A = this chain, B = another copy of it.
Amino acid sequence: MINIDFQDRSPIYLQLIKKIEEMAAKGFLAPNEQLPTVRSLAMELAINPNTIQRAYGELEKKGVIYTVPGKGCFVSPATNTLLNRKKQELLAEVTLKIKEACAIGISQEEFLEECRKAYKLCAKEEKK
Q: Which residues of A contact B (CB under 8 A)?
A: 6-7, 9, 11, 22, 25-26, 61, 66, 68-69, 71, 83, 86-87, 90-91, 93-95, 97-106, 108, 111-112, 114-116, 118-119, 121-123, 126
The 5 closest A-B pairs by CB, nearest first: A102-B122, A98-B118, A95-B118, A108-B119, A25-B104
Complex CA gap A26/B106 in Å reads 10
Taken together, the copies of this chain in the complex come to 4
Contact present for A7 and B66 (CB under 8 Å): yes
Q: Is the CB of B6 within 8 A of A104?
A: no
Beta-carbon contact of B98 and A122 below 8 Å = yes
A106 B90 Cβ-Cβ under 8 A: yes
